Structure 1
Amino acid sequence: MRSATYAAVGVALILIAIKLFAYFATNSVAMLSTLVDSLLDLVASFINLVAVRHSLVPADRDHRFGHGKAEALAGLFQSAIITGSSVFLLFQAGERLLNPKPLAAESIGIIVMVVSIGLTIGLVVYQRFVIRRTRSVAISADSLHYVGDVLINGGVIAALILSSYFQWHYADGVFGILIALVLIYSAWQIMRASFADLMDEELGDEDRETIKAIVLKQPGVLGIHDLRTRRSGQQVFMQMHIDMDGRISLRDAHTISDAVEARLMAEYPEAEPIIHQDPIFVENEAENRSGDD
């Protein structure tokens, strides 16, 4: 996760430098849009860097559940910055749409955009690898708007080509507006994911069914109910009640619970299961194995 944040900051710095050069060469508002987007990427990636470092700090006396929500707070801050800057870009693109101007040095702009797309795709591929390993909310948010950058840079290339080779000077303003709308949509997705984490939203139905199936595979478990889940950064917290034969000893019940915990952590290494043992008295265990909450 740390290496992914360092990579994002490095790529953002490179993109800012080459896009700044291209903007002064082309005088394109679409190029300005993607330059502002890269400036936002730098701010967002730096925030992620700080948030990820903080979220990885182990739990302490004052934060018994760790510091994982720092990632979600960083996501909210990112979405606010992106939304505000997108509104600014809408006004800039609208002005260019009302007063279209011919562009200059389009070939330089196209080359810069092609290079930007290559660098961004490389970063996204690495971020996806990290996300698969860590399920990080912060890295997912960062990756989301870098994916949007690929589309944005493609839009800038289209605007430069239409303006240069087809003399459609409105293309610059039109694509500037489209880019701003893409940024606003990305900000909404980041905000939604961050709120889900901060508000302790349940894991998806697929994950919940997987958890139930894992628990019920353990010999000695007769049922599961009151399953509660939430995510905080990388960590997943699970609370559940499992039914066991009330005639077994406390030692055996504890052994079964430990086995359930081991099974869950094999599937969810970042999980912290909390298991309550409920004794029941039945004659036929097979009739009582159930996954209902």
Structure 2
Amino acid sequence: MDKTSRTHQFFLRLTLVIGVILTLIKFIAWYITNSNAILSDAFESILNLGTGGFALYSLYLSQLPKDRNHPYGHGKIEFLAAGIAGGFILITGLFIIGKAFYNFFEPNEIINLNTGIYLTVFSGSIHLVLGLFLLRRGKRHNNLVLESEAKHLLSDGFSSIALIVGLVLILLTGFFWLDQVVAIGLGIFIIYSGFGLLRKAIAGIMDEADLNLIEEIISRLNNSRHSEWIDLHNFRVIKYGSKLHIDCHLTIPWYYNQIEGHHVISDFENAVDSYCGDSVELFIHVDPCEPPEMCRFCSMEDCQDRKFPMKNTIDWNVENVITNKKIYLQQQ
């Protein structure tokens, strides 16, 4: 396991330990106040502990080396972890809303709100700081497990902010039914957060194309495009956890020998690596150019087999590079 992976695991373990402490604080706050809204916040923290533990285990599995049975590695477990977390978040949100509706008709007495507010401010602040830190690290290392765990913590922190506002309003107005309204609002927010995480997990498991990511990569390639890269098509990106697997068809001059072709491919790989870093595995199918049809779109200045002068080059974009057809043929 590399240093980055060990650091990821360290922060997830630290998050779990802090999460246990903060969850206990929230249940103490609920016991003191008897507030449904605070209880909702505490249940969300329990959920975060469970998903955090599974996230830590899935991160360990995803970093195992490739083997005979898993030639692409174990990165898909990250999507499964995110999906399970999203499902549990949905269930928790529904439970919170159900209990709040019940207490509309069977009111519960709320006491010691000042203490509850102080404890909620403390726990919510720590969740926000931890969540922002993990989210930044997860995006920097393209790690969905860290991102999903960060979103749990951020959702907990944001819900704590809403909870604090609601508790202060109850304290100022004396309208204790607002406790149920706040709980329902938190439940809806939790359901929305869980649905988004579940949607992202399903997209990863189903290998849904990340068009935004492809657009960013293609934009970088356009900016550093070499004249030997005559055409690019059938460009596909698959995510396996924090790893990207890219395959494509690259057209180069037909008369290049294997050594010259290898240099062209190496330059293309370096251009992709400059954006994606060492988290990418690239497979390139080499196509020969087809004179005279492609000559009008080729910028090779010293081409030994040019039949027509260059008319114009065709910029690469998401639509034309993901199509399994040479771009000049798409123009016809």
Q: TM-score range by the shorter chain?
A: over 0.9
Q: Given that residues 128 and 158 in structure 2 are in contact (C-alpha distance below 8 angstroms), is that contact kept between their aligned partners in structure 1?
A: no
Q: Given that residues 162 and 169 in structure 1 are in contact (C-alpha distance below 8 angstroms), is that contact kept between their aligned partners in structure 2?
A: no
Task: Note the 1:131-146 alignment, pairs <5 A.
Answer: 131-146=138-153
Cα distance in 2, alignment partners of residues 212 and 82 from structure 1: 36
Residues 208-252 of structure 1 deviation map (CA, whole Å, 9 limit, x = unaligned) = 353364176134211111111121110111111111110111111
Structure 2, gaps ≥5 residues long: 1-7, 300-309, 322-332
Q: Given that residues 110 and 157 in structure 1 are in contact (C-alpha distance below 8 angstroms), is that contact kept between their aligned partners in structure 2?
A: yes
Cα distance in 2, alignment partners of residues 34 and 22 from structure 1: 10
Residue 278 of structure 1 is matched in structure 2 by: 287
Amino acid in the other structure paired with 2:89: I
Residue 97 of structure 2 is matched in structure 1 by: 90
Task: Note the 1:1-293 alignment, pairs <5 A.
Answer: 1-205=8-212, 207-208=214-215, 210-211=217-218, 213-214=220-221, 217-269=225-277, 270-282=279-291, 284=295, 285-286=298-299, 287=310, 289-290=313-314, 291=316, 292-293=320-321
Amino acid in the other structure paired with 1:276: H
Q: Given that residues 239 and 273 in structure 1 are in contact (C-alpha distance below 8 angstroms), is that contact kept between their aligned partners in structure 2?
A: yes
Pair 1:92–1:209, CA change in 2 (3 A)? closer
Amino acid in the other structure paired with 1:106: L
Cα distance in 2, alignment partners of residues 198 and 44 from structure 1: 18
Q: State the SS of the aligned residue for 1:227.
A: strand
1:289 Cα deviation (Å)? Answer: 4.5
Residues 139-167 of structure 1 deviation map (CA, whole Å, 9 limit, x = unaligned) = 21222222221221122222322222211
Which shifted more, 205-214 or 261-270? 205-214
Cα distance in 2, alignment partners of residues 104 and 7 from structure 1: 33
Cα distance in 1, alignment partners of residues 212 and 35 from structure 2: 47
Cα distance in 1, alignment partners of residues 29 and 131 from structure 2: 23
1:108 Cα deviation (Å)? Answer: 1.0
Q: State the SS of the aligned residue for 1:120.
A: helix
1:56 Cα deviation (Å)? Answer: 1.1
1:62 Cα deviation (Å)? Answer: 0.9
Q: Given that residues 79 and 202 in structure 2 are in contact (C-alpha distance below 8 angstroms), is that contact kept between their aligned partners in structure 1?
A: yes
Q: State the SS of the aligned residue for 1:140.
A: helix
TM (norm. structure 1) is 0.94
Pair 1:4–1:204, CA change in 2 (3 A)? farther
Runs of 4+ aligned residues of structure 1 deviating over 6 Å after TM superposition are none
Structure 1, gaps ≥5 residues long: none
1:44 Cα deviation (Å)? Answer: 0.8
Amino acid in the other structure paired with 1:250: Q
1:203 Cα deviation (Å)? Answer: 2.0
Structure with bigger RCO (C-alpha 8 Å, 6+ apart): 1
Which shifted more, 1-10 or 84-93? 1-10
Aligned length: 293
Determine what percentage of the aligned residue pairs are the same residue: 23
Residue 306 of structure 2 is matched in structure 1 by: none
RMSD (Å), alpha carbons: 1.8
Cα distance in 1, alignment partners of residues 81 and 101 from structure 2: 30
Q: State the SS of the aligned residue for 1:243.
A: strand
Q: State the SS of the aligned residue for 2:235.
A: strand
